[in-house]
Amino acid sequence: MITVLAQDVHKWFGKTHALRGVSLEVRPGEVLALLGPNGAGKTTLVKILATLLTKDSGHVEIMGHDLDVHVGTIRQMFGYVGQDTDRSAYARLTVAENLEFFGALRGLPRAVSRERIEGLARSFDFHENLHKPFMHLSGGQKQTVVAMRALLHDPPLIYLDEPTRGLDPIAAARLRAYLKSFVYEKGKSLLLTSHILSEVEDLATRVALIHQGRTVAAGDPHELKSALGAAGYVEVRKDRLPASVRERILQLDQVTSGVDRDPLWIAFAVDDGLAGSQAILHVLKASGVTAPFRYRDVSLEDVFAHFIPSAV
């Protein structure tokens, strides 16, 4: 069964057409990451799927249930981590009291709720914060509590909108490790938005790129990278590379294009990493140019820039 199926979803805010026919699907045991610039419609789409906003047209099913018909049932099927962290728990209650309360709302017996809170606290190294009032936590600690709340009832589906925002690197790594286990070992489904491309590389099995309310590309990261037609990029420092030599490099058979996004480096896309590097190095030596030189693989940033160039 497909966990999430969205077809031709549209949403208007007054005269603003925020979603213009977005379609996607998420399957069990899969992490789908939504990538796109600010204002692309990612959060709007997630809020529609999480029943926090209504769509204007299109069709959505969550685990076979029609979003327009079975809202109450659907709300029991997912966990949600949004961006409004401060209003996601009661300020004067402790972390444990908040989590027990939300567990009760999900129908969890108190003993089960406490056992799961203990387990999550171990996973996130959060025991020392369980009895602190929510209002006394740091921003990153509050974000961890919101993630624990979303995971507490062990849902088959979880929506994460910028989940590691405000987390320090260690806390973010713990959350990613837990999510991998949650999805890949338990067969759960995860829909993620993130501006941290290394995080998407680490977690996502598939990626959907959204721009101006439309899905412009979707596939697994390897497929999307292959669509660029490059094996990798040879980068040379701009300040040491004369324009005439740059043009000679661009004429090489092994070079498919030049990418000029970095203020310090010019990147040459090559169809073979070794052969391309050797050919470019030969041109540099023949031209008497001594310049810093490095090779890198195709990244999701390259994919983003290829499909959404106006956002870079």
For residues 182 and 158, the answer to whether their CB atoms sit within 8 Å is: yes
Beta bridge partners of 268: 234, 258
Q: Determine the pLDDT at residue 1.
A: 80
pLDDT tens digits for the chain (312 residues)? Answer: 899 999 999 999 999 999 999 999 999 999 999 999 999 999 999 999 999 999 999 999 999 999 999 999 999 999 999 888 888 899 999 999 999 999 999 999 999 999 999 999 999 999 999 999 999 999 999 999 999 999 999 999 999 998 898 899 999 999 999 999 999 999 999 999 988 898 999 999 999 999 999 999 999 999 999 999 999 999 999 999 999 999 999 999 999 999 999 999 999 999 999 999 999 999 999 999 999 999 999 999 999 999 987 655
Angle between helices 139-151 and 110-123 (to 10 degrees): 130
Is residue 61 in a domain? no
Chain CA centroid to CA 49, Å: 16
Domain ends where: 133, 153, 173? 153
Distance of CA 309 to the CA centre of its chain: 19
**Residue 235 forms part of a structural domain:** yes
Q: How far apart are CA 210 and CA 97, in angstroms?
A: 38
Question: H or E segment at 97?
Answer: helix 95-105
Write down which residue in 101, 128, 153 finishes a domain: 153
Residue 42: inside a domain, yes or no? no
Structural domain span for residue 144? 92-153
pLDDT at 28: 95
What's the structural domain count of the chain?
2
Residues 179, 208, 223, CA angle at the centre, nearest 5°? 95
User: 268 lies in a domain?
Assistant: yes
Provide the CATH number for the domain around residue 281.
3.30.70
In a domain, 129, yes or no: yes
Quote the CA–CA distance of 66 and 21 in Å, as a whole number: 18
Residue-by-residue DSSP string for 261-310: -SSSEEEEEESSHHHHHHHHHHHHHHTT----EEEEE--HHHHHHHH-GG
Pairing state of beta strands 65-66 and 214-219?
Answer: unpaired
Can you give the pLDDT at residue 309? 77
Question: Considering the domain boundaries, does residue 112 fall inside one?
Answer: yes
* Per-residue model confidence (pLDDT) at position 256: 94
Does 170 map to a domain? no
Is residue 62, in this structure, part of any structural domain at all? no
Residue ending a domain, choose from 153, 183, 202: 153
Give the strand pairing for 206-211 and 30-35.
Answer: parallel
**Stated pTM of the model:** 0.90
